[in-house]
């Protein structure tokens, strides 16, 4: 079986994974129907498991089947043409990565200050996801980490690579992946869809400019931690 056919079959499986994930927790946004702490903590755990099964597992299995596990640490050659169109902001990739990580951490600190001073609310309808007491904070943090790792591996690397291998058009892969990434967050309302689509576009640009998947994973994690952990904790909305 040719690599193009294998990639096409894996792409269908990946799209099925998105459908399965949406049909479950996100399709009905079940957090909004939960009030007791135990049920909410169980849902946090379930969401993380579903994220791993729908997004991370297909990436790992698919890259092994394609013989492309090196893509986890090195940008695939299929993306080179698009990456070459990105503006050379820094002279070296290391300098760019350092600046991006530093900026993300600085943004987290700014978010912490704003949460304390202005009780700033995150964009989008994610109120049901915010921790309601101290015990839920670690679950929200775990969800932030899981989302940052699995979604970047899936939407920034895996889907575009499959489309590029199946069709020879990496640009189509990035565009389709960005649309799916935004649509997957429809439970947050239109503001959340717009915000997450914009975030996905930024993450795509960062990935293409740095060639580093771990950098965009880290930035994504910090953004989610700011919204799901820092803001509610320092905003003083948690129960004892």
Residue 73 per-residue DSSP state: T
Q: What is the pTM of this model?
A: 0.85
Separation CA 154–CA 148 (nearest Å): 10
pLDDT band at 227 (very low <50, low <70, confident <90, very high): confident
List helix spans (H) across the chain.
3-21, 27-28, 37-51, 57-66, 80-83, 93-118, 134-151, 159-167, 170-183, 189-210, 213-225, 231-234
- Predicted pLDDT of residue 184: 87
pLDDT band at 129 (very low <50, low <70, confident <90, very high): confident
Closest alpha carbon to 211 in 111, 126, 84: 84
- Predicted pLDDT of residue 135: 87
Average pLDDT, the chain: 83
Q: Which range has the worst mean pLDDT, 99-103, 186-190, 194-198, 213-217? A: 99-103
> Given a cut of 80, is residue 239 above it in pLDDT?
no
Q: According to the 3-state scheme, what is the secondary structure of 124-162?
A: CCCHHHCCCEHHHHHHHHHHHHHHHHHHHHHHHHHHHHH
pLDDT band at 31 (very low <50, low <70, confident <90, very high): low
- Predicted pLDDT of residue 43: 86
> Given a cut of 80, is residue 240 above it in pLDDT?
no
- Predicted pLDDT of residue 187: 78
> Given a cut of 50, is residue 140 above it in pLDDT?
yes
> Given a cut of 70, is residue 89 above it in pLDDT?
no
Which carries the bigger pLDDT value, residue 111 or residue 195?
Answer: 195
Separation CA 118–CA 239 (nearest Å): 19
- Cα torsion for 90, 172, 147, 73, to the nearest 10°? -50
> Given a cut of 90, is residue 234 above it in pLDDT?
no
């Amino acid at each position: 079986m040719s690599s193009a056919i294998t990639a096409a079959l894996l792409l269908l499986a990946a799209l099925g994974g998105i459908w399965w994930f949406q049909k479950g927790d996100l399709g009905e946004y079940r957090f909004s129907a939960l009030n007791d702490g135990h049920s909410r903590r169980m849902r946090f755990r379930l969401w993380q498991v579903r994220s791993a099964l729908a997004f991370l597992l297909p990436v790992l299995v698919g890259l092994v089947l394609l013989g492309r596990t090196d893509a986890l640490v090195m940008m695939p050659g299929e993306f080179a043409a698009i990456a070459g169109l990105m503006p050379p902001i820094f002279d070296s990739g290391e300098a760019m990565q350092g600046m991006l990580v530093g900026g993300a951490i600085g943004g987290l600190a700014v978010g912490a200050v704003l949460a304390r001073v202005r009780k700033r609310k995150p964009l989008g309808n994610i109120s049901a996801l915010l921790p309601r007491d101290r015990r839920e904070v670690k679950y929200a943090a775990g969800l932030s980490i899981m989302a940052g790792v699995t979604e970047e591996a899936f939407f920034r690397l895996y889907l575009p690579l499959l489309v590029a291998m199946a069709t020879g058009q990496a640009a189509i892969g990035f565009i389709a992946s960005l649309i799916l990434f935004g649509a997957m967050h429809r439970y947050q309302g239109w503001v959340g869809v717009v915000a997450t689509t914009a975030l996905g576009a930024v993450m795509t640009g960062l990935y293409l400019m740095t060639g580093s998947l771990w950098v965009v994973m880290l930035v994504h994690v910090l953004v989610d931690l700011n919204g799901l952990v820092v803001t509610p904790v320092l905003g003083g909305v948690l129960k004892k």
